[in-house]
């Protein structure tokens, strides 16, 4: 979509009606457009030396001008009904699904799949016209058998494909309390399934219930498809999680978001924090499956900047974004760049610092510390895992002081508590799930 061309055509049309209407054109043009921001944490750097720098590339979904004009949803709810789901668990799961579906209407498509040793389509993909018949079918789901998780997700995706459209929000919502033990069951296999579904425009949200599920599998499946992930220790909390999830589903404004970052002028990409990416030479690419109304999603690129003379400017990166605007139903693009200036004045360097961008970068670096601590703990290196979290706390503390950031100070205390809790073997299962869920939410800026 060529925005400039569209605006010029509009100007020719409205010019006879006066300046007041002309002045509204930029607002009209931007009302349904994603906002791209590129923030360099240190826009002024000290001259005559090389630097490691953080660049925050963020996208913010536009506000839905009319809440009634939202994008239709195509949702498959996949419920684990294996034997471990007996009693209150399956009851709360059924009621949570029913409460969430009450938010849908005849614009939307819903399907419900249950699985134990086998997979059953409880509600085939259908328009949400007769809610009561859907609710009655859900209430007939009862727990027994093993856990064919892979097949359950696959069947849910098949139901979505009956009405699959790039102009709908296509989402599988998986709820499970146990380990996959029928069919493919490794985290890598489920991750591959998630990646495959993402290519079709389908995201998978995973809700892990209790302490018996595999958090690596669930976060991998969600992560590779760019869905959400939640750890729910108590079944009675399922309803609120389903409500949050459907709130996200009903607020999607853009899908198929591709981000390309090209480093310029000898700047070298080091790593992209927050999401999976591909780095080839000076080119960094990553993808978001969807973007929500008035929500910010971002990635942090760490780069190496070669030394420059004082009073010079240098373009560090050029960013291009392509996405499917669900309201205009057009493929649209955004672009921007990040430029640094170099100075011998440390006062000028400090005064120019972008504290919000740097705070976001520090959070993502600390999140990597947390991931490394889990790897060390899993390998049996308890001492090493504890030190990693203590180092993370030290890093967060120093940055919190430098940036006067209560947020980072809170995360410092959190890291110290995590380090102390590592020593209790009986609590590790629960703590690991909490850590994985927290890491996932911080990396993807998940709001619940």
Please compute the mean of the pLDDT values over residues 105-121 and round it to a whole number: 95
What is the C-alpha to C-alpha distance for residues 410 and 402, in angstroms, rounded to an integer? 14
Question: Is 81:178 a contact under the CB 8 Å cutoff?
Answer: no
Looking at the chain, the whole-number percentage of residues with pLDDT higher than 70 is 92
Residue whose C-alpha is closest to residue 113's, from 57, 71, 159, 74: 159
* Any domain includes 1: no
Whether residues 173 and 109 fall in one domain: yes
Do 234 and 269 sit in the same domain of this protein?
no
pLDDT at residue number 147: 84
For the record, the structure tokens of 59 come out as 């996208």
Which of 246-260, 299-313, 413-427 is predicted with the least confidence, judged by mean pLDDT? 413-427
**Alpha carbon 195 to chain centroid, angstroms:** 14
Q: What is the mean pLDDT of the chain?
A: 91
Which of 322, 344, 366 is the C-terminal boundary of a domain?
344
Q: What is the pLDDT of residues 328-365, one digit of tens each?
A: 999 999 999 999 999 999 999 999 999 999 999 999 99
Residue that the structure tokens 């489920």 belong to: 190
- Are 381 and 270 part of one and the same domain? no
Helix (H, G, I), strand (E, B) or coil at 181: coil
Residues 278, 318, single domain; the answer is yes
pLDDT band at 68 (very low <50, low <70, confident <90, very high): low
Q: Kindly report which listed range (22-31, 172-181, 213-222) carries the lowest average pLDDT score.
A: 22-31
pLDDT at 22: 37
**pLDDT 10s digits, 371-383:** 999 999 999 999 9
- Indicate if 208 and 97 belong to the same structural domain: yes
Residue 170: other Cβ atoms inside 10 A: 26
Same domain, yes or no, for 80 and 194? yes
**pLDDT of 274 above 80:** yes
Place 217 in a pLDDT band, splitting at 50, 70 and 90: very high
Whole domain around residue 105: which residue ranges?
71-250
Q: Do 136 and 237 lie in a common domain? A: yes
The residues, any chain, with a CB within 8 Å of residue 162's CB and separated by 6 or more, are 109, 111, 124, 125
Look at residue 197 and tell me if it is in a domain. Answer: yes
Neighbours of 92 (CB within 10 A): 21
Supply the pLDDT for residue 3: 38
Number of compact structural domains in the chain: 3
In which band, very low, low, confident or very high, does the pLDDT at 427 lie, cut at 50, 70 and 90?
Answer: confident
First to last CA, the chain: 33
Model confidence at 66, in pLDDT bands (50, 70, 90)?
A: low
Beta-bridged to residue 314, according to DSSP, are 340
């Amino acid at each position: 979509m060529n925005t400039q061309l569209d605006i010029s055509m509009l100007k020719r049309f409205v010019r006879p009606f006066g300046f007041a209407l002309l002045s509204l054109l930029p607002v009209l043009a931007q009302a349904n457009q994603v906002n791209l921001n590129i923030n360099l944490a240190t826009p002024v750097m000290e001259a005559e030396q090389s630097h490691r720098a953080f660049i925050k590339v963020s996208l913010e979904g536009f506000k839905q001008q009319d809440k009634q004009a939202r994008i239709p949803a195509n949702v498959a709810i996949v419920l684990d009904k294996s034997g471990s789901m007996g009693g209150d668990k399956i009851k709360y799961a059924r009621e949570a699904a029913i409460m969430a579906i009450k938010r849908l209407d005849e614009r939307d498509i819903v399907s419900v799949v249950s699985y134990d040793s086998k997979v059953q389509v409880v509600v085939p993909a259908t328009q949400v016209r007769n809610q009561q018949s859907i609710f009655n079918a859900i209430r007939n789901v009862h727990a027994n058998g093993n856990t064919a998780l892979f097949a359950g997700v696959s069947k849910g995706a098949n139901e979505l494909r009956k009405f699959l459209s790039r102009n709908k929000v296509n989402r599988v919502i998986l709820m499970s309390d146990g380990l996959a033990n029928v069919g493919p069951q490794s985290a890598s296999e489920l991750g591959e399934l998630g990646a495959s579904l993402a290519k079709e425009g389908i995201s998978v949200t995973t809700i892990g219930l209790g302490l018996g599920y595999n958090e690596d599998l669930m976060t991998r499946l969600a992560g590779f498809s760019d869905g959400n992930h939640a750890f729910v220790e108590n079944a009675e909390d399922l309803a609120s999680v389903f409500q949050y999830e459907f709130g996200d589903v009903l607020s999607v404004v853009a899908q198929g978001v591709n981000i390309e970052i090209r480093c310029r002028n000898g700047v070298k990409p080091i790593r992209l924090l927050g999401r999976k990416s591909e780095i080839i030479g000076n080119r960094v690419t990553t993808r978001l499956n969807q973007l929500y109304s008035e929500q910010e999603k971002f990635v942090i690129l760490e780069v190496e900047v070669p030394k420059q003379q004082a009073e010079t400017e240098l373009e560090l990166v050029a960013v291009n974004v392509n996405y499917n605007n669900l309201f205009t139903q057009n493929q649209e693009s955004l672009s921007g760049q990040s430029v640094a200036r170099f100075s011998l004045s440390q006062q000028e360097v400090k005064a120019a610092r972008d504290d919000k961008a740097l705070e976001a970068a520090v959070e993502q670096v600390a999140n990597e510390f947390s991931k490394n601590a889990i790897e060390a703990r899993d390998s049996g290196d308890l001492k090493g895992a504890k030190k990693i979290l203590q180092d993370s706390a030290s890093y967060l503390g120093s940055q919190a002081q430098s940036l006067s950031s209560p947020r980072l100070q809170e995360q410092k205390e959190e890291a110290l508590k995590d380090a102390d809790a590592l020593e209790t073997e009986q609590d590790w299962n629960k703590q690991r799930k909490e850590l994985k869920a927290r890491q996932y939410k911080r990396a993807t800026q998940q709001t619940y």
